[in-house]
Amino acid sequence: MYAQLVKSEGLKSREDMSPEERDFQDRVDNGEKIEPKDWMPEGYRKTLIRQIGQHAHSEIVGQLPEGNWITRAPTLERKAILLAKVQDEAGHGLYLYSAAETLGVSRDELLEKLHSGKMKYSSIFNYPTLNWADIGAVGWLVDGAAIMNQVPLQRTSFGPYSRAMIRICKEESFHQRQGYAIMMKMAAGTPEQKDMAQDALNRFWFPSLMMFGPSDKDSVHSAQSMAWKIKMNTNDELRQKFVNETVPQADYLGLKVPDDKLAWNEDKQGYDFSEPDWSEFFEVIKGNGPCNRERLNARVKAWDDGAWFREGLNAYADKAADRRKAAAVAAE
Amino acid sequence: MSGAQTTDAELKADPFMNDDAIRAAFFEWLCRMGDNALILGHRTSEWCGHGPVLEEDIALANTALDLIGHTQMWLGLAGEVEGKGRDADDLAYLRDAMKFHNLLLVELPKGDMAVTIMREFLFDAYHHLLLKWLAEHSTSPRVAEIAAKALKEVSYHLDRASDIVVRLGDGTEESHRRMQEALELLWPYTGEMFAGDNVDAALSGAGIAPELTGLQGLWDEDVRSILDEATLKTPEPGGYAHLGGKQGRHTEHLGFILAEMQFLQRAYPGASW
Amino acid sequence: MSKKEWPLWEVFIRGQHGLNHRHVGSLHAPDAEMAINHARDVYTRRREGVSIWVVPSKDITASSPSEKGPLFDPAESKTYRHPTFFDIPDEVGKM
């Protein structure tokens, strides 16, 4: 998902909890929202910062693979739609950083951790977008997978995170559909266009499945995050749901999901499918994906090149404030 | 005739939509309007994902989106006037550089934020005056209608760009230096905005578009007052001006923009996207 | 060179006449005037008919927070931002 492998604490039993922790857990269990000024366990705060921060980083790094097609979009309307979508991702990053900031960390601190490699972003954005159908596939599959996770997160226990998710889900509902609309055009287009569409699906299928993270059925980290309602479903549940919803959509397009083991399982009322290559996933997380270096360098360059701009505007604001003060004193 | 109050009947009755005497000049002039928006929008969109801070990244994308919208309107009308069945996409994606009529100013590389913001400011100051005149005075209701729509957005572009020019000019030593350098780099490309040719003469003769020389004085005044406030030194007026964009003689940069922008349409002719 | 972060602002927007300003989120800006511009660009995505308040986050005094978070529907001028813009056939199912 946009937040993968977020470290949390081991699940605490009720007997091991302090009275404050018990009260806190009761509030969460009752579906109450936790707000920034409320008491919260330190582990909850830290886990949330890591999770929301990683999610925010994924949004802004996620601008890059699609952004590189804005100047090559094939019609004026497609160009406007893509630009609006990538702009939304910047907005979503902004909302999420804001949510993290209510927990006592600054956006600049989080960016510093992204730039130095101490914080991660979703593995999916380290894959390249090579043809125009990739823009369709990213919207359809990547946003589709993200929505699987984000819809339940609207009910997460932390108020600011929940509110950011609600706003994001509302804005993102067009993202997946615009992706699918591109895929429909391509799949029904010329033979070359259909090839592009199939090529995009071939390359993005397994990386999309990896977005949900490795199986976490037995993970104590996940158990604690689920008790705190900052993780709402297991990775496997979401992955299964994604496959179940996506396969018929691929069928409709007349495209083949690149998995020979894919088959409907009547008993579980879902598809059986192949696991992604998890060794590839861990390599990508470690920094060895096809685009890790480019993505991070692009973010660092944007930030470093913008330093004088941010400083210049700060300096003017300070001067203007001084001038206003001086004028007020003179008027007295 | 006021753009804001144009009725549907007046729009249909636009006297210039089927006027062979002015068709060629009108078409070329509309391409100039559309191409300026298209190419500046293209340059502005290059910042998406690379802005100096998230808020600015989002603001630049808004500007670019507005410009793409203007492109669709101007080139759409150009296609109608031409009457050969070409739509806005055909004009944007299937003309070569020599058939593009944008100002050289808008095709220069985006540079740093100083160049980007200074260019936007210099162009917006002109664009705003032009659209305001068109919305209020154009004898073509179709032109007045588009100008009125674009004017609202360009008013905001101009306010925003002016504000940032002042702030960066009067910010740190470095921001001041970069803004002054950007101004001097771009200044020789501003003269083209007011250098009229026979197309401009035909359009102003018909009352569709203004006399460009009439706008120049206002532009000088507006620009100078902001640059003064920004503590920047305005270059001498009447200096050397790079010309040719409006007539289709461009810098080397435009060819690369088009190679990128038109790639899919050129590689897969006739495909639907 | 100092590394001062732009201050954080809370943004309140009135979408239609007659309604109260509502908290929609926060953003960074060097001062109030720029915060207003940023708020337009980030939280309204269109320029007309809105009234915006910005308040430095540090100047907000909060009671014990138990209220439900306000939501604000940004008015949208670009129809393609809405899912209904894209025509997905019924056979495909819910998307």
**Among B54, B72, B268, whose Cβ lies nearest the Cβ of A192?**
B268
CATH number attached to the domain at C1-60: 3.10.20.520
Average pLDDT on B74-93 reads: 98
- Nearest alpha carbon to residue B173 among A94, A312, C93: A312
pLDDT of A100-119, one tens digit each? Answer: 999 999 999 999 999 999 99
Phi and psi at residue A252, in whole multiples of 5°? -60, -35
- Is residue A214 scored above 60 in pLDDT? yes
The neighbour count for residue A14, using CB atoms within 10 Å, is 8
**Do the beta carbons of residue A249 and residue A258 sit within 8 Å?**
no
Tell me how close the Cα of B260 comes to any Cα of chain A, in angstroms: 6
Residue C65's pLDDT is: 47
For chain A, percent of residues with pLDDT exceeding 70: 99
Tell me how close the Cα of A173 comes to any Cα of chain B, in angstroms: 19
Average pLDDT on A57-83 reads: 98
**Do the beta carbons of residue A162 and residue A97 sit within 8 Å?**
no
- Is residue C46 scored above 70 in pLDDT? no
- The C-alpha atoms of residue C10 and residue B223 are separated, in whole angstroms, by 33
Here the ipTM equals 0.95
Tell me how close the Cα of C25 comes to any Cα of chain B, in angstroms: 13
Residue in this structure with the two tokens 């964009």, named with its chain if needed: B245
Radius of gyration of chain A (CA): 22
pLDDT of A129-182, one tens digit each? Answer: 999 999 999 999 999 999 999 999 999 999 999 999 999 998 888 899 999 999
- Is residue B2 scored above 70 in pLDDT? no
Q: Are strands A263-265 and C22-28 parallel, antiparallel or unpaired?
A: unpaired
The neighbour count for residue A304, using CB atoms within 10 Å, is 11
- Is residue A272 scored above 90 in pLDDT? yes
* Reported confidence tier of residue C71, pLDDT bands at 50, 70, 90: very low
HSE-up of B255 (CA within 13 Å, CB side)? 5
- Is residue C67 scored above 80 in pLDDT? no
Judging contacts by C-beta atoms under 8 Å, the chain B residues touching residue C78 are 65
For chain A, percent of residues with pLDDT exceeding 90: 90
**Do the beta carbons of residue B32 and residue B101 sit within 8 Å?**
yes
Q: Roughly how many angstroms between the first and final C-alpha of chain C, as a whole number?
A: 49
SS (H, E, C) chain B: CCHHHCCHHHHHCCCCCCCCCCHHHHHHHHHHHHHHHHHHHHHHHCCCCCCCCHHHHHHHHHHHHHHHHHHHHHHHHHHHHHCCCCCHHHHHHCCCHHHCCCCHHHHCCCCCHHHHHHHHHHHHHHHHHHHHHHHHHCCCHHHHHHHHHHHHHHHHHHHHHHHHHHHHHCCCHHHHHHHHHHHHHHHHHCHHHHCCCHHHHHHHHCCCCCCHHHHHHHHHHHHHHHHHHCCCCCCCCCCCCCCCHHHCCCCHHHHHHHHHHCHHHHHCCCCCC
Contact between C69 and A106 using a beta-carbon 8 Å cutoff: no
Contact between C47 and B153 using a beta-carbon 8 Å cutoff: yes
- Is residue C48 scored above 80 in pLDDT? no
- Is residue B5 scored above 70 in pLDDT? no
pLDDT of B115-127, one tens digit each? Answer: 999 999 999 999 9
Rounded to the nearest angstrom, the gap between the alpha carbon of residue A297 and the centroid of all alpha carbons in its chain is 19
Measured CB to CB, residues of chain B less than 8 Å from chain C are: 53-55, 58-59, 62, 65, 152-153, 156, 160, 163, 167
Which region, left, alpha or beta, applies to residue A125 given φ > 0 means left and ψ of -120 to 50 means alpha? alpha
**What are the helix and strand counts (H, E) for chain C?**
1, 3
Q: Rounded to 5 degrees, what angle do the CA atoms B120, C44, A66 make?
A: 65
- Is residue B228 scored above 60 in pLDDT? yes
Output B182 or A2, whichever has higher pLDDT: B182
Residue A251's pLDDT is: 98
Tokens describing residue B107: 């095709």
- The C-alpha atoms of residue A158 and residue A38 are separated, in whole angstroms, by 10
Contact between B152 and C27 using a beta-carbon 8 Å cutoff: no
**Do the beta carbons of residue A125 and residue A58 sit within 8 Å?**
yes
Distances (CA, A) of A216 to A28, A53, A213, A262, B263: 22, 21, 8, 22, 44
**Among A76, A182, A310, whose Cβ lies nearest the Cβ of B92?**
A76
- Nearest alpha carbon to residue B63 among B106, B102, B2, B28: B106
Report DSSP state, residue A79: H
Q: Is residue B3 part of a domain?
A: no
- Nearest alpha carbon to residue A150 among A210, A214, A92: A92
Beta bridge partners of A264: A271
Residue C49's pLDDT is: 53
Tokens describing residue B176: 């001041």
Nearest residue of chain A to residue C6 (CA atoms): A314
Q: Is residue B169 part of a domain?
A: yes
Average pLDDT, whole number, for chain B? 95
**Among A80, A245, A313, whose Cβ lies nearest the Cβ of C30?**
A313
- The C-alpha atoms of residue B108 and residue B24 are separated, in whole angstroms, by 27
**Among C30, C65, C68, whose Cβ lies nearest the Cβ of A36?**
C65
Tell me how close the Cα of A268 comes to any Cα of chain C, in angstroms: 20
Residue C74's pLDDT is: 39
* Reported confidence tier of residue C1, pLDDT bands at 50, 70, 90: very low
Query: How many domains does chain B divide into?
Result: 1
pLDDT of B62-75, one tens digit each? Answer: 999 999 999 999 99
- Nearest alpha carbon to residue C69 among B40, A281, A102: A102
Contact between C80 and A180 using a beta-carbon 8 Å cutoff: no
Tell me which long-range contacts B233-239 makes (C-beta under 8 A, separation of at least 24). Answer: B233/B180, B233/B183, B234/B183, B235/B183, B235/B184, B235/B187, B239/B187, B239/B188, B239/B191
HSE-up of B174 (CA within 13 Å, CB side)? 14
Beta bridge partners of C27: C9
Question: Which string of b and e fits C6-18 if b means at least 16 CB within 10 Å?
Answer: bbbbbbbbbbeee
CATH number of the domain at B199, please.
1.20.1260.10
HSE-up of C36 (CA within 13 Å, CB side)? 12
- Is residue A99 scored above 70 in pLDDT? yes
pLDDT of A16-56, one tens digit each? Answer: 999 999 999 999 999 999 999 899 999 999 999 999 999 99
- Is residue B10 scored above 70 in pLDDT? no
Distances (CA, A) of A55 to A62, A121, B88, B214, C14: 10, 7, 38, 53, 29
Q: Is residue B273 part of a domain?
A: no
Distances (CA, A) of A170 to A174, A218, B75: 8, 33, 33
Q: Neighbours of B (≥3 Cβ pairs closer than 8 A)?
A: A, C
- The C-alpha atoms of residue C29 and residue C35 are separated, in whole angstroms, by 5
Q: Is residue B258 part of a domain?
A: yes
Question: Which string of b and e fits A265-303 if b means at least 16 CB within 10 Å?
Answer: eeeeeebebeebeeeebeebbeeebebbeebbebbeebb
- Is residue B11 scored above 70 in pLDDT? no
Q: Choose the mutation target among B53, B55, B167, B175 for the interface with C, i.e. most C CBs under 10 Å.
A: B55
- The C-alpha atoms of residue A162 and residue A167 are separated, in whole angstroms, by 9
Residue C44's pLDDT is: 85
Host domain of residue B51: 18-267
Residue B4's pLDDT is: 47
pTM score above 0.90: yes
SS3 A271: strand
Judging contacts by C-beta atoms under 8 Å, the chain A residues touching residue B48 are 63, 67, 70, 83, 86-87, 90
Q: Neighbours of A (≥3 Cβ pairs closer than 8 A)?
A: B, C
- The C-alpha atoms of residue B196 and residue B187 are separated, in whole angstroms, by 18
- The C-alpha atoms of residue C23 and residue C55 are separated, in whole angstroms, by 10
CB within 8 Å of C44: residues ≥ 6 apart: C13, C50, C52, C74, C75
- Is residue C81 scored above 70 in pLDDT? yes
Radius of gyration of chain B (CA): 18
- Is residue C66 scored above 50 in pLDDT? no
Residue A221's pLDDT is: 76
Contact between B168 and A316 using a beta-carbon 8 Å cutoff: yes
- Nearest alpha carbon to residue C29 among C47, C12, C50, C11: C11
Q: Is residue B7 part of a domain?
A: no
Burial degree of B84 (CB within 10 A; 0-12, 13-18, 19+): exposed
- Nearest alpha carbon to residue B157 among C54, A311, C47, C39: C47
Residue B30's pLDDT is: 98
- Is residue A226 scored above 90 in pLDDT? yes
- Is residue C68 scored above 70 in pLDDT? no
DSSP A114-139: HHTTSS---GGGGS---SHHHHHHII
Tokens describing residue A62: 């996620």
**Do the beta carbons of residue C65 and residue A157 sit within 8 Å?**
no
Residue B12's pLDDT is: 65
> Is the alpha carbon torsion for A264, A267, A270, A271 positive or negative?
negative
Residues 163-182 of B with CB under 8 A from A: 164, 166-168, 170-172, 174-176, 178
- The C-alpha atoms of residue A304 and residue C61 are separated, in whole angstroms, by 34
